[in-house]
Amino acid sequence: MAYQVLARKWRSQTFDTLIGQEHVTTTLTNALKNNRVPHALLFTGARGVGKTSAARILAKSLRCPNLKDHTPCGKCTDCVEIAEGRSINVIEIDGASNNGVENVRELRESVGYMPSTGKFKVYIIDEVHMLSNSAFNALLKTLEEPPEHVIFIFATTEVQKIPVTILSRCQRYDFRRISIKKVADHIASICAQEGVSAEMQALWLVARESEGSMRDSLSLLDQVISFCGKKITHNQVIDVLGLTDRTLLSTTLKAIITADVNEAMNVAEKVFKFGYDPKQFAQDLLEHIRSLMVVKVSGNKRPEFLDLPENEIEELTKIANELSHEDIHFLFDMSLKGVSDIMRAQDPSIVLEMLLLRLTQAPRLSSIESVVEALESGKPLEKKTSILDKPIATPLQQENQIQNQNTFIESIKKEKPLLGAKLEYATLELATDASNLTVFFRKEQEFFFTQVSQKEVVAQLVDLAEKYWGKKIAIQVKLGQSINQGPLSLQESQAAAKKEAQREAVEKIEAHPLVKDAKNILKAKITSIKTSKETRE
């Protein structure tokens, strides 16, 4: 016997097994109980949510001779033939290929014949919106006043294309997209019955990719089982379906709120390396930040309308507790603009990198209430420089750290002039307990980073640091900028000092009485100031 795909093998055979459409199944079951089944029904909704299955179940319920509690037995001739789509009393018509007037004429002629057995003859027209306007018009009179033994069931994914004259003659049932949790639980049950071991996290990925369609989820599950065999893991599902790793989204969010530029760049590199679509990744990140906001506004209660596994909700809750509503709104707005930019970009990877960098440097916002409260109480406003609070060094602490850095580099230049010259382009960050030292090189100084980060060079630095500070210090060399926005490199601090000296000199000259008198008498202004050396040149 040929292999039967899971979507057909596990198709719902009773209303009880139709997942996520309780509002429809309850109404139809009550209609059967009270003998109030209408002569024309319209089932509308997204793909793969159970419209055709519900039509077949209703047809079986109308024709099954062994009906028990208005549930078909599934074993009689009628039930088996309807399930297999070969019943002569339940006619299934494809609206796409039978959309002409002549097809409707044939249908109208067959409507007058009584069913070979049973009380009802059921016509199921799938994708009914594909019928032409002439075909719809030809169907109107029959649809409005069909014989007592005829039931019409229409199914469509595009109800807006059906004429109002047809809609007014049908009882409409809207099928909803199935929640990710219900899809994941159902395919987990199917895996158990199929003898397949699957990680729940992997099944959540399959369910999320199906976008609320049970048929799509079973088709994807078939594909995953073909790849993985009897044991399905999270990483295998990511590989076979080409999805974004959810852990990568969590890593990105943590990098953003801790202003970890290096980690954010690592994420961008992984997106490129693993072949993820930058547009889809940015969209998934936007959705992740949206979920963060939902968790934040829900407080300690679990948001019922958030379709995420428990472990993701717990992780988002921890992050949300560290942020304000304003912070999350700001991140969402930046991400939303970034997604729009990525969609239009010729090179989405570069735009994604810039988006992640902007997000890591996002300032932390204060709410209007906190600002008003601070102004009313006379307290100074709290300075916030990043998404998470970080200790801000005082000017004296920064000056001492710069002095420490500069004198340490000068001491290295005496023993290792070449190494000291390279370190002039680095920023040194010493821990408060002086237990470790981090040497940061910016991206544009990658050449020096490559040389200084070598093991033998780091070993030399450890020895030189021990001589300078009198104790053993662990040293790390990193590419990127210090998260704490530490002191400038020696080169930058010297340039800044020179610029400050020039500024002070200019102010001193402009404040000189003779210069002021000359400006007043000549009605002139100073455009530039040159030293005597510059004048000679």
- Write phi, then psi, for 241 (nearest 5 degrees): -100, -5
Q: What is the pLDDT of residue 399?
A: 41
Of 373, 437, 378, 379, the closest CA to residue 404 belongs to 437
Burial 35-72 (b: 16+ CB within 10 A, else e): eeeebbbbbbbeebbbbbbbbbbbbbbbbbeebeeebb
Pair (226, 261) in one structural domain: no
Give me the mean pLDDT over the 62-84 stretch: 89
Indicate whether 349 belongs to any domain. yes
How many independent structural domains does the chain possess? 5
pLDDT of amino acid 42 = 96
**Rounded mean pLDDT of 486-502?**
57
Q: Are residues 212 and 349 in the same domain?
A: no
- Do 309 and 451 lie in one domain? The reply is no
* Residue 327 counted as domain residue: yes
pLDDT at residue 397, rounded to an integer: 41
| 93 domain-assigned | yes
The pair phi, psi for residue 18, each rounded to 5°, is -85, 110
| E-state strands within 186-328 | 197-198, 231-232
pLDDT at 15: 92
Q: Which of 360, 381, 409 is a domain's end point?
A: 360
* CATH number reported for the structural domain that contains residue 465 in this entry: 3.30.300.180
Q: What is the chain's mean pLDDT, rounded?
A: 82
Helices (H), 378-484: 395-415, 417-423, 446-452, 455-469
Task: Say yes or no: 330 and 466 in one domain.
Answer: no
Measuring CA to CA, which residue among 394, 423, 418 is closest to residue 493? 423
Q: Are residues 209 and 280 in the same domain?
A: no
The DSSP output letter for 195 is T
Of 87-96, 219-228, 265-274, the range with the lowest mean pLDDT is 265-274
Which residues, at least 6 apart from 260, have a Cβ–Cβ distance to it below 8 Å?
A: 254, 360, 483
More confident residue, 512 or 134: 134
Residue 45 pairs in a beta bridge with: 175
Distance CA 87, CA 77 (A): 9
Least confident interval from 303-312, 314-323, 478-487, 520-529: 478-487
> What does the pLDDT look like over 220-264, one tens digit per residue?
999 999 988 889 998 888 888 877 778 888 889 888 888 888 888
The reply to whether 508 falls in a domain is yes
Query: 171-175 and 197-198: which strand pairing?
Result: unpaired
Look at residue 505 in the predicted model and tell me its pLDDT.
66
- Domain boundaries, position 428: 395-487
Q: Which residues contact 111 (CB under 8 A, 6 or more apart)?
A: 121, 123, 142, 146, 147, 150
Helix (H, G, I), strand (E, B) or coil at 42: strand
| Domain end (from 360, 385, 409) | 360
Q: Tell me, yes or no, whether 276 and 338 share the same domain.
A: yes
Residue 279 and residue 331 in one domain: yes
13 and 125 fall within a common domain: yes
Band (pLDDT 50/70/90 cuts) for residue 342 is very high
The answer as to whether 383 is a domain residue is no
Q: What is the pLDDT of residues 444-484, one digit of tens each?
A: 778 888 888 888 888 888 888 888 877 788 888 888 765 44
Does residue 377 sit within a domain? no
390 pLDDT above the threshold of 60: no
The reply to whether 433 and 449 lie within a common domain is yes
Q: How far apart are CA 393 and CA 396, in angstroms?
A: 8
* Amino acid, res. 431: A
- Residues contacting 274, CB < 8 A, separation 6+: 245
Give 346-370 pLDDT, tens digit per residue. 888 899 999 998 888 877 665 555 5
Q: Is 17 in the same domain as 101?
A: yes
Whether 308 is covered by a domain: the verdict is yes
Of 487, 505, 527, the domain-final residue: 487
CATH code at position 210 = 1.10.8.60
Cross-strand partners of 437: 430, 475
CATH number of the structural domain spanning residue 168: 3.40.50.300
CA dist., res. 497 & res. 494, Å (int): 5
Residue 374 tokens, joined: 């601070």
- The distance in angstroms from the start CA to the end CA of the chain is 97
Q: Report the distance separating Cα 61 and Cα 13, nearest Å.
A: 10
Are both 317 and 421 inside the same structural domain? Answer: no
Kindly state whether residues 195 and 230 are assigned to the same domain.
yes
CB 223 within 8 A of CB 446: no
298 domain-assigned: yes
Q: Is 352 exposed, middle or buried (0-12, 13-18, 19+ CB in 10 A)?
A: buried
